[in-house]
């Protein structure tokens, strides 16, 4: 027993995790056999407790939380106040985003060893901070943004706001819905990826870039498979996602499942998740970081990235999206790009929606679905008996589009739909044509119309800011800040937002 204990400890110190697990297993088995024969050997019981605690550490380093938690719990059954087991269990729960349960472990450990207050107080303060963020959603990226995304990525926590998973009558399958009225920029969820993989794609050869993507995709699949194999809770989360068929038979998971504080253990039941199911789920639900509905902040902005963010994967596509996402490290933060009402479904754009109907149809086919949102249905009927406009020059086409909408009595949000479909024409036209004057609407009018129809977008913001150069009055600045809030969300406060969108605001005193 002494030889095994020394060998296992040496392997643990050398960070040879697999080998240390094997030797500790032999040591633990031997300890238990002695205890069975002599149940009053307290010294061996203490050795067993320490062995379980150390094996838990090795399992934790091997990213196997199920086994690590099991060892910690068995050690604490022998000695409920065992310091190392309490500390180890707290660290495992903290890594699983179970801040409340982790906090209890760290507080109990501090009572047993007040001399370790510096280490434990650090964990305790982190738990309190992240538990508060996961409850309130009061995230603030201001300092990090103002520092140019340099330094350590902000500490984030899992957060689920006023949303619920329900059947989607309009978009088919299941979707994520608002449970209360919320305005543009409101944060609705923050979640950490089950796994991510990133690479820098070569601009030299298409084949080289494609090969890099295939290698990245294989590595990503291996990471997700490994995580699912080692944690029942992760397996349970992944098994809630659609494999791409028979949507009607899929259950509606409770949103509470994604908050991570339901149970202390990863889960009692074993979800059925085959390799084929996992591949189908990843094919349907993985998100890329360079999507038009996403903004990557920080050091991973130079990379092409893919990841699995489970709750965010329930958000369906629409050509009139109302949500966007920020990628910060391995977390995704989803916020509203325009105002929504209670009961309204939250949607992303899976592809560029500032395109004509035919182009959007082509894009949706590559994703394996047909979009039947209100905008697509309107445009299907609208173009059925009309010839597509011929492009003369940028200003001319804008003029003809606007005149045609007057002639055909297109009003309100439907006017925003058509302007969004011809956004490329408007964008280039406002940049290069000056001679049309009042014959075409002002850029801020068109930007506001398109944003109301399809939500905030960086390209809308760019046009608005360009034309604000010589007239940055209070109303124009307020309009730009509102649009910027829809692009970046309320987690970027006013000072940072001004820096991001380039608004120069002079302080004005009102008497």
Q: Tell me: do 253 and 291 sit in the same domain.
A: yes
pLDDT reported for residue 510: 33
Cα–chain center distance at 11: 37
Residues 297 and 327 in one domain: yes
Other C-beta atoms closer than 10 Å to the C-beta of 206 total 10
235-256 pLDDT per residue, tens:
999 999 998 887 778 899 988 8
Do residues 321 and 372 both lie within one domain?
no
Phi, psi angle pair for 257, to nearest 5°: -60, -30
How open is the CA angle 32-35-37, to the nearest 5 degrees?
115
The answer, yes or no, to whether residue 367 has pLDDT greater than 70, is yes
> In Å, how far are 173, 262, 296 from 299, measured between CA atoms?
35, 33, 9
Weakest mean pLDDT among 79-88, 168-177, 461-470: 461-470
Q: How many helices (H) and strands (E) does the chain have?
A: 20, 12
Percent above pLDDT 90 for the chain: 54
Q: Which tokens hold the place of 386?
A: 């009309």
Tell me how many domains the chain contains.
3
Residue partners of 152: CB distance under 8 A and separation at least 6: none
Q: What is the CATH number of the domain that holds 94?
A: 1.25.40.10
| Whether residue 170 sits in one domain with residue 116 | no
| 309 and 432 inside one domain | no
Residue 201 has pLDDT above 80, yes or no: no
- Partners of 176 in the beta sheet? 165, 346
Indicate the pLDDT class of residue 387, thresholds 50, 70 and 90. low
* Residue, of 317 and 300, whose pLDDT is higher: 317
> Residue 395's pLDDT band (boundaries 50, 70, 90)?
low
Q: Do residue 186 and residue 333 come from a single domain?
A: yes
Tell whether 380 and 451 lie within a shared domain: yes
Domain boundary among 136, 154, 184: 136
**Contact (CB, 8 A) for 429 and 395:** yes
Last residue of a domain, one of 136, 162, 183: 136
Beta strands in 168-229 (DSSP E): 174-178, 187-192, 196-199
- Residue at which a domain ends, from 348, 371, 404: 348
Above 70 in pLDDT, residue 489? Answer: yes
- Residue 181: which pLDDT band, with cuts at 50, 70 and 90? very high
344 lies in the same domain as 371: no
DSSP 356-384: -HHHHHHHHHHHT-----HHHHHHHHHHT
**Which pair of tokens denotes residue 133?**
């963020």
pTM of the model: 0.88
Q: Are 131 and 146 within one domain? A: no
Most distant CA pair in the chain, distance: 98
Which of 356, 424, 417 is closest to 394 using CA atoms?
424
Q: What pLDDT is stored for residue 503 in this prediction? A: 58
Closest CA to 466 of 490, 496, 432: 432
Query: 345-348 and 316-317 as β-strands: parallel, antiparallel, unpaired?
Result: parallel
What is the span of the domain harbouring residue 459?
357-510
Q: What are phi and psi of 287, to 5 degrees?
A: -115, 140
- The 3-state DSSP class for residue 143 equals helix
The reply to whether 400 and 457 lie within a common domain is yes
**Closest to 230 (Cα-Cα) out of 24, 72, 52, 70:** 70
CA-based nearest residue to 73, from 60, 88, 61, 63: 88
User: DSSP characters for 436-498?
Assistant: TGGGS--HHHHHHHHHHHH---HHHHHHHHHHTTT---HHHHHHHHHHHHHHH-TTS-HHHHH
29, 62 Cβ separation under 8 angstroms: no
Average pLDDT over residues 329-337: 94
CATH number for 253 = 2.170.270.10
Judge if 309 and 377 occupy the same domain. no
212, 108: one domain: no
Sign of CA dihedral 287, 292, 296, 301: positive
Per-residue tokens: 256: 């509470």
User: Residue 332 and residue 136: Cα distance in Å, rounded?
Assistant: 17
């Amino acid at each position: 027993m002494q030889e095994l204990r020394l060998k296992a400890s040496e392997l643990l110190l050398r960070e040879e995790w697999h080998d240390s697990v094997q030797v500790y297993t032999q040591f633990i088995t031997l300890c238990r056999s002695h205890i069975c024969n002599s149940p009053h050997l307290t010294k061996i019981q203490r050795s067993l407790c320490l062995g379980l605690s150390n094996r838990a550490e090795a399992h934790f380093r091997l990213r196997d939380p199920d086994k690590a938690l099991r060892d910690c719990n068995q050690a604490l059954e022998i000695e409920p106040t065992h310091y190392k087991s309490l500390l180890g269990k707290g660290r495992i729960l903290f890594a699983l985003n179970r801040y409340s349960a982790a906090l209890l472990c760290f507080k109990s450990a501090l009572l047993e060893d007040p001399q370790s207050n510096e280490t434990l107080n650090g964990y305790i303060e982190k738990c309190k901070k992240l538990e508060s963020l996961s409850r309130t959603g009061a995230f603030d990226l201001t300092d990090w943004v103002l520092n140019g995304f340099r330094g350590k990525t902000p500490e984030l926590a899992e957060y689920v706001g006023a949303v619920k998973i329900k059947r989607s009558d309009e978009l088919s399958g299941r979707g994520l819905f608002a449970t209360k009225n919320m305005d543009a920029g409101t944060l609705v969820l923050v979640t950490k990826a089950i796994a991510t993989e990133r690479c820098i794609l070569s601009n030299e050869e298409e084949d080289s870039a494609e090969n890099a993507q295939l290698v990245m995709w294989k590595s990503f699949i291996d990471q997700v498979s490994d995580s699912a194999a080692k944690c029942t809770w992760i397996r349970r989360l992944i098994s809630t996602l659609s494999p791409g068929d028979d949507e009607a038979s899929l259950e509606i998971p409770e949103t509470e499942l994604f908050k991570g504080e339901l149970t202390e253990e990863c889960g009692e039941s074993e979800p059925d998740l085959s390799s084929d199911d996992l591949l189908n789920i990843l094919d349907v639900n993985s998100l890329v970081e360079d999507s038009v509905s996403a903004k990557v902040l920080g050091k991973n902005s130079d990379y092409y990235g893919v990841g699995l963010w489970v709750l965010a994967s329930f958000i369906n596509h629409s050509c009139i999206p109302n949500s966007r996402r920020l990628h910060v490290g391995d977390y995704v933060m989803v916020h509203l790009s325009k105002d929504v009402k209670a009961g309204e479904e939250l949607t992303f754009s899976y592809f560029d929606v500032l395109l004509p109907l035919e182009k959007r149809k082509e894009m949706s086919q590559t994703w394996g679905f047909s979009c039947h949102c209100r905008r697509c249905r309107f445009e299907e009927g609208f173009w059925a008996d009309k010839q597509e406009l011929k492009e003369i020059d940028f200003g001319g086409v804008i003029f003809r589009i606007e005149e045609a909408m007057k002639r055909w009595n297109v009003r309100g949000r439907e006017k925003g739909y058509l302007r969004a479909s011809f956004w490329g024409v408007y964008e280039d036209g406002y940049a290069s044509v000056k001679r049309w004057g009042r014959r075409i609407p002002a850029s801020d009018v068109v930007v506001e119309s398109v944003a109301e129809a399809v939500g905030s977008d960086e390209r809308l913001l760019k046009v608005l800011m360009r034309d604000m150069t010589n007239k940055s009055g209070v109303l124009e600045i307020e309009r730009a800040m509102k649009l910027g809030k829809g692009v970046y969300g309320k987690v970027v406060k006013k000072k940072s937002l001004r820096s991001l969108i380039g608004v120069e605001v002079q302080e004005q005193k009102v008497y």
